[in-house]
Amino acid sequence: MSKKSVLLVIILIFITGVLFFTLSCKKTAILPEPENKTVTLYNWKEFTELSILRDFEKDTGIKVILCEYETMPMMIAEVHSNPGRYDVIMMDGNIVPVMKDLKLIEELDFQKLPDYKNVKEELRKKPFYDHQGIYSVPHLWGTTGLVYNTNYVKGTVDSWKVLWDKKYKGKIALMDDPREVMTVLLKSSGFSLNSKDPEELKIAEKQGLLLKKNGVKFGDTMGNIEKVMTGELWIAEVYNGDVFYKTGNRKDIKFVNPKEGFNLWQEFFCLSSDAKNKEGAYKLINYFLRPDISGRSTNTYCYCSPVEGSEKYIKKEILENPIVYPSEEIISKGEFYIELGETNKEYERIFNLLK
């Protein structure tokens, strides 16, 4: 699974220039179904537990068409270009304000989401969750950090600064995403990962150029983990749940949330402003807010459930694993992304200098 942040201006340019793209649908009907008997979910590639959709179909009589995307720009361009094609859309938390501004999602009627009451109170209090207001409900959440191979990396690893250590030159990697890269550069310098301060960004740029000299590479979270497992890389930036999902209990592969701080992220369900089957959409979103269903999603993808009571449905080895469920002390060091407006251009520029 990949998590991408984008600049609204760049997105608009991207949308204008998009002519073609490939859409993958898990289920298509040979004959058209009545609109009120189908609901279309648009989600990240390979980030949907299909058995949950099948059970939803059995319980409600509503068929689910699952369509998938690989990047946030692809998702936004497709939704923008095809009004009415999707009912429920999954997206990164920092994309919700973008989709709201583009009028591609609409306010939710929480009276139609009776199981919204199951969302944990502490998550509702998180600043970024409040920022999203009434346009979204959470699905899963996680953190960023470092995965490393103890066959090559000796001693304590607890800081982003290990990436600048010359003895690891050419064996380090960040995620191939501007916001994730800037998180490392800013947090390692003692700044907020949402900084707009020009002086702080200059310092981050200098740090980035030094990291480039140290042979930093770029990849997605799963690719980075695979390369650390084989020894092609020794240390890499990744998402926490993917480490457990990919490596299980392999003793020589470790994960840490750096002490300077890191990104806390959430994935959200949103209602398309052009949804054809809003009744079905509400039923599907509400279904994922059931404790048993949310627990099943956690069991599959190894990310934290936001739903109260889901714990009794989650496998013990996942629930008790500090990689997947970090302590409150660790969580307190995390930050949610916020939309940066024009500052995104500077983040993109610095990111491109490192490539």
Name the architecture of domain 8-141+265-323: 3-Layer(aba) Sandwich (3.40)
30-68 per-position pLDDT tens digit? 445 555 799 999 998 888 999 999 999 999 999 999 999
Please tell me the least confidently modeled range out of 57-71, 123-137, 238-252, 331-345: 123-137
90 contacts 47 by C-beta, under 8 angstroms: yes
Q: Compute the average pLDDT of residues 263-281.
A: 95
Mean pLDDT, range 264-280, rounded to an integer = 95
Over residues 297-309, mean pLDDT: 95
The pLDDT value recorded for residue 307 is: 97
Q: What's the confidence (pLDDT) of residue 13? A: 44
State the SS3 of the chain: CCCCCCCHHHHHHHHHHCCCCCCEECCCCCCCCCHHHEEEEEEECCCCCHHHHHHHHHHHCCEEEEEEECCHHHHHHHHHHCCCCCCEEEEEHHHHHHHHHCCCECCCCHHHCHHHHHECHHHHCCHHHHHHCCCCEEEEEEEEEEEEECCCCCCCCCCHHHHHCHHHCCCEEEECCHHHHHHHHHHCCCCCCCCCCHHHHHHHHHHHHHHHHCCCEEECHHHHHHHHHHCCCCEEEEEHHHHHHHHCCCCCEEEECCCCCEEEEEEEEEEECCCCCHHHHHHHHHHHCCHHHHHHHHHHHCCECCECCHHHHCCHHHHCCCCCCCCHHHHCCEECCCCCCCHHHHHHHHHHHHC
Fold of domain 143-263+338-354: D-Maltodextrin-Binding Protein; domain 2 (3.40.190)
Q: Which of 7, 10, 6, 38 is nearest to 276 (CA)?
A: 38
Residue intervals of the chain classified under CATH 3.40.190.10 are 8-141+265-323, 143-263+338-354
> What phi, psi does 79 have (nearest 5°)?
-65, -40
Q: Counting every residue, how long is the chain?
A: 355
The pLDDT value recorded for residue 24 is: 46
Angle value at C-alpha 127, between 125 and 128, nearest 5 degrees: 115
The whole model's pTM is what? 0.80
The pLDDT confidence band at residue 25, using thresholds 50, 70 and 90, is: low
Instruction: Determine the pLDDT at residue 52.
Output: 97
* pLDDT tens per residue, range 193-228: 999 999 999 999 999 999 999 999 999 888 999 999
Instruction: Find all residues with CB under 8 Å of 322, minimum gap 6, and list them.
Output: none
Q: What percent of the chain is modeled with pLDDT above 70?
A: 87
The residue among 352, 162, 346 whose CA lies nearest residue 259 is: 162
